[in-house]
Structure 1
Amino acid sequence: MTGVLAGALGLVVGLVIGTLGGGGGVLAVPALVYALGQDARTATTGSIVIVGIIAAVGVLARLRGRTIDWRTGVGFGIVGVPTAWAGSLLNRAVPQPVLLLSFAALTLAIAVLMLVKGGASAQQADGAAVAETGAVDGGGSAPPTAGGPGSAGATAVLAAPARLSVARRVGKIVAAGSVVGFLTGFLGVGGGFLVVPALTMLMGLSMPAAIGTSLLVLTFNSISSLGARVGHLDLDWAVIGPFAAVAVLGALGGKLVADRMSGAALNRTFAGLLVVVGLFVGVQSLLAL
């Protein structure tokens, strides 16, 4: 009976990760704690295993497409390795109520950010597209050509802003990747529900690209977090096995759903999921105090 319930919950988690590129850990941790009776520490470890497997399969399913920003994803993943390790060490020293309340608070905060900034980002993207179309159609003055008068001066003027832009992008990757890695190790959520907002709001990726790239980051972070737990692993394979196996199938189905949804719809769905889960875990944790 436990295996059947684990498989059913795994299907839901897999669909969420496949469709939204994250959020699976947000569901897996409460499912393992409240539906399958695990303690918070065991659940966070099991969630990392499950999310890591699903994410790796999701990356393989997207290899032929163009929905993964490999440079950004690898950058996030590498930066997050040491901080995921540190988060995993802290996980073992923090009481269960603190883990679950931290989980709930962070989930709600990210949901609010996505709802507030997600709409604004979409409007800015639309405005940029209109402006670009106007420029292409001759609505504004054309920039000087490479061989025209003053082109050398223009190149020199543009070089510094270009270097500054690259430095800012690298800085964003280091900052966001470090935070995501730490929270992956600490809360066992894989970080997808943080990676997707970071990739859309900070790095400017479209929602489909953010979803694919987040799966690559989740794979990195999951491997690092499990490495930090070697020697302290408490895994119930009777639960994790069917959970992960069915979740993989759900993730493949979720990719088909994601391909048919707009970026705005994916953004709203993701934020709504975080609100529901955050409120549920927060209320349950407070009642247990």
Structure 2
Amino acid sequence: MTALALALLAGAVTGLALGALGGGGSVLAVPALIYLLGFTPAAAATASLLVVTVSSGIALLGHARAGTVRWRHGVPFALAGLVPAAIGGAVSVRLPAGLLTGAFALLAAVAAVRMLRPSTPLREDAPVRRRRVATAGAGLGAVTGVLGVGGGFLAVPALVNVVGLRMRAAVGTSLLVITVNSLVALAARAGAAVGVDWARVAPFAAAAVLAAWDGRRLAARVSAGSLQRIFAWALLAVAAFMLADAVL
């Protein structure tokens, strides 16, 4: 299979996950860019941030039109991650490739396990603890900056368990958080010489954008629980492969 076909296929899967689940696309984008397109971990993280920023922004528009974005809850969550995302983006390009790969694999495994466990929302009248929201938002921003992931696979459970949103609202709102964090982390990496081949990133990004729109439609037809389980098992397989590659 040619590099172009691989880029289109991987981009489509990334966008589909973002549109349907409100996150998880970058967890597939980074290993796809490394193992299918030959990027270094640092370059893959930077390219992933661009892809996720654009595709999540497009998906956010669709969810906003459908009324599933809770701006009042999402904006404070996103703002808490701005500084950590910027710092993480600047630091990441200086970290060893093996460390980035191993850390990413462990994070992907944790994310998969969390997705397999059902999330229980807070009561709708339960008070939202601002300190917990700020802590969760800051942690998510740091992860986005360092590893080049949008963090939706962590944002969705946090928005359910910490903020108290229902699943569909959490999916839509997470796209706001992903877009903001990814944009800030990408800006922090501007000018860093990480060898990104933008000619190969372009078709990847284009496929992701188109698939993100279809992912939103898929989410409306298939239960969020079923989508999460399928994605989680695939993510566990990816995590195991990357961890083995980092250790061996």
User: Is TM-score (shorter-chain normalized) higher than 0.5?
Assistant: yes
Deviations 1:143-164 (A, max 9, x none): xxxxxxxxxxxxxxxxxxx9x9
- Structure 2: distance between partners of 1:41 and 1:24: 17
Aligned residue among 195, 203, 210 for 1:249: 210
Aligned residue among 132, 141, 145 for 1:172: 132
| Superposition map of 1:33-182 within 5 A | 33-116=34-117, 118=118, 121=120, 165-166=127-128, 168=129, 170-182=130-142
Partner in structure 1 of residue 143 of structure 2: 183
- Structure 1: distance between partners of 2:22 and 2:73: 15
- Structure 2: distance between partners of 1:196 and 1:272: 17
Are 2:80 and 2:134, in contact at CA under 8 Å, matched by a contact in 1?
yes
Larger radius of gyration: 1
Q: In structure 2, do the counterparts of structure 1 residues 237 and 93 end up closer, same or farther at CA, with 3 Å as the change threshold?
A: closer
Partner of 2:8, secondary structure, is helix
User: Cα RMSD over matched residues?
Assistant: 2.0
Report how far residue 19 of structure 1 moved: 1.0
Greater length-normalized contact order (CA 8 Å, ≥ 6 residues apart) = 1
Are 2:87 and 2:145, in contact at CA under 8 Å, matched by a contact in 1?
yes
- Structure 2: distance between partners of 1:218 and 1:23: 10
- Structure 1: distance between partners of 2:222 and 2:26: 22
Q: Give the partner amino acid of 1:194.
A: L
Partner in structure 2 of residue 212 of structure 1: 172
Size of the alignment, in residue pairs? 246
Report how far residue 253 of structure 1 moved: 0.9
Are 1:3 and 1:238, in contact at CA under 8 Å, matched by a contact in 2?
no
Partner in structure 2 of residue 153 of structure 1: none
- Structure 2: distance between partners of 1:66 and 1:277: 33
Give the fraction of aligned pairs with identical amino acids, expressed as a percent. 43
Report how far residue 207 of structure 1 moved: 1.6
Moved more, 190-199 or 265-274: 265-274
Matched, 1:259 2:213: no
Q: In structure 2, do the counterparts of structure 1 residues 12 and 113 end up closer, same or farther at CA, with 3 Å as the change threshold?
A: closer
Report how far residue 42 of structure 1 moved: 0.4
Matched, 1:273 2:234: yes
Are 1:206 and 1:263, in contact at CA under 8 Å, matched by a contact in 2?
no
Q: Give the partner amino acid of 1:201.
A: N
Are 1:207 and 1:266, in contact at CA under 8 Å, matched by a contact in 2?
no
- Structure 1: distance between partners of 2:43 and 2:232: 26
Structure 1 residue runs without a partner (length 5+): 130-161
Report how far residue 201 of structure 1 moved: 2.4
Partner in structure 1 of residue 201 of structure 2: 240
- Give TM-score, length-normalised by structure 1: 0.80
